[in-house]
Structure formats: C-alpha cells, structure tokens
Amino acid sequence: MSILLLPPILALFTIILIYIYFKRQYSSSPNDPPGQKPQIIFGNIFNSGLLTGRKTGPELFTAYQQEYGDVFLFWAGSHKCLVFCLPEHAQTIFSDRHTFDQSPLFIPNFDLLCPNGIITLSGAKWKRHARVMLPMFKRAKIVHYLETILHCTDQFIDKHLDDNHTYTDLTLRCQSLLMNIIAFIAFDHDLEAQIDSSCARALQDFIYYAGQFMMTAWLPRWLGKLYLKLNWKYQRAHRVLRELSEQIVEQEQNKHNDSESQRPKNLIASLVSSLNEQANDEQISSGLTQAEIFDEVLMAITAGTETTATALSWFMFYMSKHPRVQQRIKQELKEHDLAMGDNAHSSLLNLETLDSLVYCDCVTKEVLRLAPVAGITARRATRDTVVDGVPIHRGQDLYVALYNMNKDPRYWHHGDPNEFIPERFLFEDKNHHPYAMVTFGGGHRACLGQDLAQFELKLMIARLMQRGVSFEDTPENIGGCKQQVTCRPRHLVVRVRIDHN
C-alpha cells in the first residue's frame, strides 16, 4: 500500500516545489518600488490588459504612474523591471553609457525575426555595426535627400489621395510612402511600393508579427522559434523581404565593383563597402558579414517605414480634429511665397525655406510629443548603481516611460499638456526641460534615424499643405491606440480634400 502511495506523494511534492520556486521568482523584495501584483508566468502582461489589447504600453504606464508614482515595478513575464517616469531619471540613465546599455526587452524576442539588426544588439557587436551605419544618418547626409522625399510625397498625393474621398487605410498608405522613401534614400532602389504590392504586404505582415512578439516576453524562446517556423504567412513575408534585401545588396555590389574608389554616398553603399566575412566583435572596425548586412537592410526598411509612417498617420488624425492648425500652416506657406495647389514645384520648397517654417516645425514637434509612436525605451544595467534613491542591480532591466514625460503637467505649462497645441513651442514650453521630450530615446542608444525621421515628417507635412491637401473629421474617426511595433491610430477615418486652386 505504501509503495502505491509513493508516486502521488512524489508528484505532490514536486508540484509544491515548483509552486514555491515560481512564488519566489515572482515575489518583490521589501525595497522594491510599488506595482501591480504579478501573475505566475505572465507577470503583469495579462492582468494589466496589455496582452489582451485593452491597453497599449503608453496608456498602461500612464495609468500606473498615476496609481503608483514616478517609479514603479512592472513584471514583463518573469522579468522584474523598474519603470522611471521623470525627465531627471531619463537624464541620469541616458547620460551614463557605461552603466546602462540596450535591453532585449525594448522589443522582446525581436532577435528571433532579425538577429543581426542594430536595434537588438549591445556591447562590442553594437559598436561594430554603429561604426558602419551611424555616419549615414547624420543631418549633413540627410538634407541631400530633400528632392527625393518631395518627389515621393508628390507621387503619394497624385496616386493615393483623391479629392472628397473618405479613407480608412491611411496608415497603410503612409507605410507605402515611407517604404518608397527609405528604399530611395538608403538603398537607391525604386520599389514602386504600392498598397497592394508583395513588398508592402510582406512588410505589413513582418511588422504585425514583430508587434505580436513584443507581448511574448513570458513565453519560452523555443516556442517562439517553433511558431515562426510553422507559420506560413510569416515565412512568406520573411522570404519576400529576404529576397528584396538580397536584390538590393547585389545591385549595390555590382556598382561597388565598378567604382571601388568612391566614398559611400548612402547606407547600402556603406554596408557593402564594409563587407568582411571574417568580421568579429574583437575588432570594432572589422566591418559586417553578409548575413549581418542582409539583416541591417531588413531592419532599415522596417524601422525607417514603421515609425515615420505612424507619426504621419497621427498628423493626419490631429489635423482632422484641428482644422485651424491646417489653415495656419497654409497661411505660413503663403507668407513665405510658397505656391499652393497642383502647380507647386519642389524648387520652391528648399532647405532654406523649410528651415524658415517656424509654425510647421512646431506642428512637427507637437505630433512627436503627443503621438505615442514609441512610448517607452528599455535599458539593462551593466553594474550596480542607484537612480533617485532606487537601488539597481547588475543585470536589472528598466524602462524609461517617454510618453509619460511628454505629457507631464509639471514640465509642460502652456495649456493642457494632453491637448494638441503646437503654439506651446512658441511660448512657455519653447525652453522645456531637455529630457521632457525625448521621443527617440537618448544617450548613445538613441534612435540612429531620428534626424531623418524629423526631417522627413516636417518636409512631408509642408508638402501636403503646400499641395492644398486637407484632412476632415468624420463620425467614425474616434482615434484610440493600436499596439504593434509602434502605437498606431486605432480608428483613423478621415475625408481628404484637395484645393486645386
């Protein structure tokens, strides 16, 4: 009888041990900041509404800050993360590059999709990739693409925007525009990426699964790998983008072989010129391997398309809600003798005139401040330290709540910081705290394409208004956020008007 009871007793004992282990794993220490009680396996991803889509990251962290204060605890699965919400916190964390490096929780499991993309790297490998890529994203390089961006925007207006038509898919159309722009300026490659093209669909699918994987920090990595391997839709998207990447690299290699003495003029030229199959992380200047180049092309297409396309779609949403802002932008263009309507020529909108458009610059900043494109960024401590009296241990993950800082009434004083008011950058908020608005992160791991994104966005805004495009509100245009890699407008339904006079 006793022998028969032994197996169930052992099973019960094992279950109790497993329960105790997980209980200890998901327990906070007495010195930890406050936060919502975690669930085993899920942490706070499920009970917060993040996994179910009830809340996006920016919405959740805003609610948590109101409930728990400026520093609180958030469990991303089994990862116990500290969340910091003040500009002073961001300044301390971003300025200490020797203590805080990129955390894999910034985009969890994204390395399963793009293992050699610069956004997923850290340490010596990141330095090796950054040495090749960063010079191509400096403003001095970017401004030379003004005519290309204008040309693509004109094509977007002519092909994708009809007068007096209501659109429900403007976010996807914005993706098509930005995909074309990044292909031209980074790769000297004409994708002709229409809404229904295979490249555009593949990019949409790839971004969708990247967004899905942001919510899977609680899952075992082997399960994520198996899911991707068996998912035919993802495999098709990856194959199309991989073939595109190989095509772009091959095209540039042929050019490179014909003119090896020329200095790289764009990103793909810099990548190809750095090709070195013996590249390793022991030598920072040793270039990139073929596999790394392919992944960086894919990363550039994805990041260069998704973030700015999302910001542009938010601009369209805010303009539909604030027609006076549209009129003021157009009035500023008129004051600078910039033609409107179909006869507007790119030569009239040059770098000098773009820099003189002060109000347009305010609108660009207000879109980036208020739109939750990238609501958070993540860092991992490389050694023990303290931030605002909170002890941080080596290997600890932490989040900086960028969106919270962008709307904090203690740092934004012109009107309601939750309202879209571009004029704030002309008055009290012109000289805001330098870390009260860091939409693209900060420090050595800030977004390397931030200058390009801001330049693109302002130029596209000016061009749309110059061509007489207006965005009108509809009853279905109720906004809200949809979490993918970035936070898009959930319900963007606007009517487009085009003034041909």
* Helical (H) or strand (E) element with 381: strand 377-381
What does the DSSP assignment read for 75-131? EETTEEEEEE-SHHHHHHHHH-TTTEEE-TTSSTTGGGT-TT-GGG--HHHHHHHHH
Going by C-alpha positions, the residue among 202, 199, 19, 234 that lies closest to residue 109 is 234
Number of CB atoms found within 10 A of residue 99's CB: 18
- Residue 183 tokens read as 């292909």
Residue environment code for 44-61, b if the CB has 16+ CB neighbours within 10 A, otherwise e: bbbebebbeeebbbbbbb
SS (H, E, C) 55-91: CCHHHHHHHHHHHHCCEEEEEECCEEEEEECCHHHHH
* Residue 353, amino acid: T
The answer for residues whose C-beta is within 8 angstroms of residue 51's C-beta and 6 or more apart is 42, 45, 215
Rounded to whole angstroms, the Cα distance separating 325 from 361 reads 12
The answer to whether residues 491 and 477 touch, using CB atoms and an 8 Å cutoff, is: yes
The answer to whether 85 is annotated as binding is: no
Residue 81: C-alpha distances to residues 14, 78, 175 (Å) = 29, 9, 32
C-beta atoms surrounding 19 within 10 Å: 11
DSSP β-ladder status, 397-400 and 79-84: parallel
Q: Which of 367, 344, 387, 372 is nearest to 454 (CA)?
A: 367
CA distances from 228 to 95, 110, 186, 234, 238 (A): 37, 12, 28, 7, 10
Pair 303, 446: CB distance under 8 Å: no
Annotated binding site for heme: 447
Annotated binding site: 447
